[in-house]
């Protein structure tokens, strides 16, 4: 889908993917709002689509409270719960995934105060990967929950989402941190909310389970790096720190472990708050 024409001079929040590590985006959002920074546009991918849709519906401190409630529910009710036998039973029945989509759908329908993109208070787009076209697809209109589910349909964990005869998987497959999309939509100030792995150098895999993780990290990072390298003049990008000195590189293998959610939110809040305070000081000095 071609980016529509949009006015320049806009502030965008770009929320990347990263599974359970996406809790850090809640802390970053809290810091942004506390510093009086509000979005004119929100772009999200995968778990960033979940966080982003909730913020677009209520772009203020109330969104942070709602997001904290969502992540607490993810931790307490274990949306990806189930015994090994139950997950294997689902896989045997479906042959494609180990979790049903209904718990995540119910969570979104409970916490999202609107049902369509048109009802959002801030323009919002999320990306998913089209299976049939092997291409990215951007959702910007129509039913909101369906689009967010498509963007967060992790292969093997959740089923593809069928919309209008086309099947979609997780947006992280094609655009994990979509800075370029925000710029194409007219943003000239971009705040990047990411889960913390992009600033850690990759190493060759040494264990069988690391092979897929390293391969996916290459795929997700090269598009992001290309977007940053191609920024046009006049665009400022702020990459907010996650607060994790050593974020787990095999998070996808521990996608059901929500035990560290509260700590991740608090560390990201503190780190982002410090970054924004320093950025404001520099801006005052230059002014």
Is 76 an active-site residue?
no
Establish whether 244 is a catalytic residue.
no
The single residue of 45, 46, 130, 242 carrying the catalytic annotation is: 46
User: Helices 61-77 and 261-286, interaxial angle, to 10°?
Assistant: 160
Contact (Cβ atoms closer than 8 angstroms) between residue 220 and residue 177: yes
Q: Nearest Cα to 51, choosing from 106, 121, 112?
A: 112
Closest to 172 in 3D by CA, of 189, 185, 157, 187: 157
Q: Give the CA distances from residue 36 to residues 29, 60, 77, 183, in Å, rounded to whole numbers and listed in that order.
A: 11, 9, 33, 21
Q: Is 15 helix (H, G, I), strand (E, B) or coil?
A: strand
Structure tokens that stand for 94 in this block: 């479906």
Closest CA to 16 of 162, 133, 182, 203: 182
User: To which H or E segment does residue 81 belong?
Assistant: none
Choose the catalytic residue: 58, 146, 170, 188.
170
The C-alpha atoms of residue 76 and residue 259 are separated, in whole angstroms, by 9
Point out the residues that are catalytic. Answer: 46, 170
């Amino acid at each position: 889908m071609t980016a529509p024409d949009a006015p320049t001079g806009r502030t965008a929040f770009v929320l990347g993917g990263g599974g359970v590590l996406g809790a850090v985006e809640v802390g970053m959002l809290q810091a942004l709002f506390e510093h009086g920074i509000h979005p004119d546009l929100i772009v999200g991918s995968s778990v960033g689509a979940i966080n982003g849709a909730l913020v677009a519906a209520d772009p203020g401190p109330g969104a942070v409270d709602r997001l904290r409630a969502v992540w607490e529910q993810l931790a307490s009710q274990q949306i990806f719960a189930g015994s090994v036998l139950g997950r294997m039973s689902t896989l045997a029945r479906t042959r494609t995934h180990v979790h049903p989509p209904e718990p995540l759908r119910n969570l979104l329908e409970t916490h999202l105060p609107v049902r369509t993109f048109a009802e959002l208070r801030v323009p919002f787009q999320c990306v998913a990967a089209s299976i049939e076209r092997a291409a990215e697809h951007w959702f910007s209109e129509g039913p909101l929950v369906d689009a967010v589910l498509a963007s967060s349909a992790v292969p093997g964990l959740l089923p593809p989402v069928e919309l209008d005869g086309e099947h979609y998987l997780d947006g992280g497959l094609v655009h994990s941190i979509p800075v370029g999309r925000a710029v194409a939509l007219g943003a000239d100030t971009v705040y990047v909310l990411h889960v913390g792995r992009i600033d850690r150098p990759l190493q060759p895999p040494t264990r069988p389970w690391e092979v897929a993780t390293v391969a996916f990290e290459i795929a997700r990072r090269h598009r992001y790096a290309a977007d940053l390298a191609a920024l046009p003049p006049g665009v400022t990008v702020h990459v907010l720190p996650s607060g994790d000195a050593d974020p787990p590189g095999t998070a996808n293998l521990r996608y059901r472990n929500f035990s560290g959610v509260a700590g991740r939110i608090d560390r990201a809040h503190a780190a982002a708050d410090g970054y924004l305070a320093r950025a404001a000081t520099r801006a005052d000095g230059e002014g």
